[in-house]
A and B are shown apart, each in its own frame.
Chain A
Amino acid sequence: MTEPRADAPPRIEANGLTKRFSGVTVVDNVSFLVEPGQILGLIGPNGAGKTTLFNLMSGVLKPDAGRLVVNGVEASGLPPHRLARLGLVRTFQLARELDKLTVLENVLLAARTNAGESLTGALFRPAAVRLDERAATERAREMLALVSLSDHESKPAANLSGGQKKLLEMARCLMAEADTILLDEIAAGVAPHLVDEIALLIQRLNREHGKTFVVIEHNIGFIRALASRVVVMAAGRVLAEGSFAHVSANPAVVESYLGQAA
C-alpha cells in the first residue's frame, strides 16, 4: 500500500471553498488541509454544510468559488470520476446502494482496474476479463468480511437493513483502493457493536496502510477516539480547528454544538 512519503503533498488542500444555493451561502470560504495519514474529524450542527463540503471535495457539486487541490493536482471543478481516480473516494450520508445489484456486485463495481469494464476488454480479452474478475471477487469478499457482510453477498442490496447499507458503502470505498476516504456519518444507524468495529477498522487502515480519512460524525465519542485533528463547522464556516481537546475547550464550539450534542 501507499505509505505517505515525508515530502508528500497534502491529500486535500481546500482554499476558500464556497457554495451557494439560490443565494444562501451554505459553504462559506472554507479552507483547510488534510495531511497524508491523518484522520480528520469534521463536526458541526445539522445544516452546518458538512455534507455539502464533501460534495464539493468529491466533485458532486462545483464550487462557486475557491480552489481544491488533491494529492498536489489542481482539482477544482473536476467531475467525480476524475477525483476518484486522483485517489479520493467517499461514502454518502444517505446510503446509495445499487438496489438491483447483489451486495457482492456493489463492491465489485469499485474495483480499480478490471479489464472487463471496458468495451474492448469485455469483447476481445476474455482471459484478462476472467483473471481480473477473479482477483476482484476475492478482494471484494475480503472487504465484505471487514464490515461483517460476508453472509449477505448474494442478496440484492435493496434487502439490506439501513445500517448494513452504510457498511456496504464502507466496503465499496475500501475496495476502491483510494488514498483518501471521506466518510459521511458512516456510523449512523449501524448497530452499536459494529460501530466499535468500524472505529477499529478505520484506525487499523490508517496505521497499517497509511490511509487518510475525513470523518463526519455526530457521535462525539467516535470522533474523540479517532480524529487526530478536528474541524468544527457552523453555518457554512470553519468555527474552530485543532485537536479534540483544543476545540472542545473552545466556548464558541461548546455553545454552538457540543453543548447540545453532549
Chain B
Amino acid sequence: MDAYLVAILTIAGIYIILALALNLQFGLTGLVNFGVVGFFCLGAYASGIATESFHAPFVGGLCVAMVTGAVAGGLLALLSLRLSGDFLAIVTLGFAETIRLIFNNEDWLTGGPKGLLIMTRPVLADYSRSANAWMVLAVVLTGAVLTLALMLRLAGTPYGRVLRAIREDELVPATLGKNVFVYRLQSFVIGSVLMAAAGSLYAHYVQTITPDNFTTPVAILVWMSVIVGGPGNMLGSVIGALVVVTIYEGSRFLTPWLGFLDAEQVSALRFIVIGTVLILVIRFRPEGLLPEPKHTPVVPATRRPALKG
C-alpha cells in the first residue's frame, strides 16, 4: 500500500509538470499543442540515451533532455506558430507520432520496441528499494514544485498579462507594440523544455521505456488535467493532474471488486470514468475546478467601486 502510494504520487508529480507546461502554452497563451507526448517521449529517450550510452549522470541526462526539448520546441514553433492555431495543432500531433515512430524503428539507438533499459537513477546510492522509491519521489516533487513556482511567477507578472492578451485577441497586443511571435515562441519553448524534463524524470523512474509508453492517451490525460483543473489557473493544473492520475492509477485498487471484468475492460473503464468527469466539468463548470484567478492591481484602487452597473 505504501509502495502504491509512493508510485501514484511519483506519477502524479510527473503529470503535474506536464499539465503545468501545457497550461502555460494553452491556458495562458492559447497555443493548442496536441504533441505533449512527443516532447515527453523525446525528453525520456534523450535523457536515457545520454546516461546509458554516454554515461552521463542523471543531472546530465536531465539537461540533455531539456536542451533537446528546447530545440524541438523552437523548430516546431518556427514552422508553425506564425500560422493559425489549427495548423499548430496538426503539426504538433504529427510531431508526436513521428517521434514515436522514429524511436520505434531506430533500434540501434533506442532499442526499438524492446525498449531502452535505464540503470541510472536520480538517487544518492543504493539504499533499500523503498528508500530509493522515496528519493525518486522527492526528486519528482521538487521538480513539480519548482515548475509550479516558475508558472505562478510568469502568470502573475505583466509577462503573463501579455500572454493572456495574445490568447484573447492577438491583434490587440500586436497593435500596442508587443511582438506576439516572440511571446508565443517563448511560451511554447518553455513548455516544451518542461515536458522534456518530465520525460527525463519518467525515464529514470520507470527504468524501461518503450515507444508504447508514449502514445496519445498520455496526451489525453494531460489535456484532461488542464481542462478539469481550469485553463489559466496553475494551481488548477496541479489539482487536475492529481484528480486524473488518482482516477487512472487508483482504479487498480478496484480490480478485486470488478472480478467480472478482465484487465483490458478495467483499463477501458478508467477512460470512461475520466471522460465522464471531463464531460461533467465542461457541462457544469466550463471554467474548470479552479477558474482563472482574478488579477488584483498592485496599487489598490482608491475610489469605491461603483454601486450601479
A residues engaging B (CB < 8 A)? Answer: 58-60, 79-81, 83-85, 89-90, 92, 96, 98-102, 104-105, 108-112, 114, 116-119, 121-123, 129-130, 132-134, 136-138, 141, 150-154, 172, 176
For window 285-309 of chain B, which residues contact chain A by CB distance below 8 Å? Answer: 292, 294-295, 297-299, 301, 303, 305-306, 309
CB <8 Å contact, A100 and B158: no
CB <8 Å contact, A84 and B153: no
CB <8 Å contact, B177 and A176: yes
- Whether B164 is near chain A, meaning CB under 8 Å from some CB there, is yes
Residues on B with beta carbons closer than 8 Å to the beta carbon of A58: 175
B301 CB to nearest A CB, Å: 6
CB <8 Å contact, A151 and B303: yes
Residues on B with beta carbons closer than 8 Å to the beta carbon of A101: 161, 164-165, 168, 295
Report the count of interface residues on B (CB-CB < 8 A): 36
CB <8 Å contact, A114 and B175: no
Residues on A with beta carbons closer than 8 Å to the beta carbon of B278: none
Cα distance A152–B164 in the bound complex, in angstroms: 20
Residue on B nearest A178 in the bound complex, by CB: B177
Question: Of B150, B186, B305, which contacts A154 at CB under 8 A?
Answer: B305
Cα distance A80–B169 in the bound complex, in angstroms: 14
CB <8 Å contact, A81 and B298: no
- Whether B176 is near chain A, meaning CB under 8 Å from some CB there, is yes
Question: Of B176, B179, B180, B292, which contacts A110 at CB under 8 A?
Answer: B176
B156 CB to nearest A CB, Å: 9
Given contacts A81-B174, A119-B186, contact A109 B153 (CB under 8 A): no
- Whether B4 is near chain A, meaning CB under 8 Å from some CB there, is no
CB <8 Å contact, B168 and A122: no
The 27 sampled A-B contact pairs (Cβ below 8 Å) are A60-B171, A60-B175, A81-B175, A81-B177, A83-B175, A84-B174, A84-B175, A89-B175, A89-B176, A90-B175, A96-B172, A100-B292, A102-B294, A105-B161, A105-B295, A109-B172, A111-B158, A112-B177, A117-B161, A123-B153, A129-B157, A129-B158, A132-B158, A134-B298, A136-B158, A172-B172, A176-B176
B residues engaging A (CB < 8 A)? Answer: 150, 153-154, 157-162, 164-165, 168-169, 171-180, 186, 232, 292, 294-295, 297-299, 301, 303, 305-306, 309
Cα distance A104–B305 in the bound complex, in angstroms: 13
Residues on B with beta carbons closer than 8 Å to the beta carbon of A130: 298
Q: Top 6 A-B pairs ranked by shortest CB distance?
A: A151-B306, A116-B158, A84-B177, A122-B159, A122-B157, A98-B168
Residue on A nearest B300 in the bound complex, by CB: A137
Cα distance A172–B153 in the bound complex, in angstroms: 25
Given contacts A101-B161, A117-B158, A117-B159, contact A153 B301 (CB under 8 A): yes
Given contacts A80-B175, A122-B154, contact A98 B299 (CB under 8 A): no
CB <8 Å contact, B305 and A109: no
A180 CB to nearest B CB, Å: 13
Main secondary structure of the interface of A (DSSP, over half): helix
Question: Of A83, A100, A133, which contacts B168 at CB under 8 A?
Answer: A100
Residues on A with beta carbons closer than 8 Å to the beta carbon of B160: 122
Cα distance A136–B298 in the bound complex, in angstroms: 10
CB <8 Å contact, B299 and A137: yes
Residues on A with beta carbons closer than 8 Å to the beta carbon of B176: 81, 84, 89, 109-110, 172, 176
A166 CB to nearest B CB, Å: 14
Cα distance A81–B301 in the bound complex, in angstroms: 30
Residues on B with beta carbons closer than 8 Å to the beta carbon of A118: 159
Residues on A with beta carbons closer than 8 Å to the beta carbon of B306: 151-152
Residue on A nearest B302 in the bound complex, by CB: A141
Residues on B with beta carbons closer than 8 Å to the beta carbon of A102: 294-295
Residues on B with beta carbons closer than 8 Å to the beta carbon of A90: 175
B304 CB to nearest A CB, Å: 8
B249 CB to nearest A CB, Å: 33
**Besides A96-B171, A98-B165, A101-B295, 19 new A-B residue pairs in contact (Cβ under 8 A), listed by A number:** A81-B177, A81-B179, A83-B175, A89-B177, A100-B168, A104-B297, A109-B173, A109-B176, A116-B158, A116-B159, A122-B158, A130-B298, A134-B299, A141-B301, A151-B303, A151-B305, A154-B297, A154-B305, A176-B177
Residues on B with beta carbons closer than 8 Å to the beta carbon of A117: 158-159, 161-162, 178
A161 CB to nearest B CB, Å: 8
A232 CB to nearest B CB, Å: 26
Residues on A with beta carbons closer than 8 Å to the beta carbon of B299: 134, 137-138
Residues on A with beta carbons closer than 8 Å to the beta carbon of B174: 79-81, 84
A90 CB to nearest B CB, Å: 6
Cα distance A109–B169 in the bound complex, in angstroms: 12
* Best-surrounded residue of A81, A96, A123, A176 (most CB of chain B within 10 A): A81
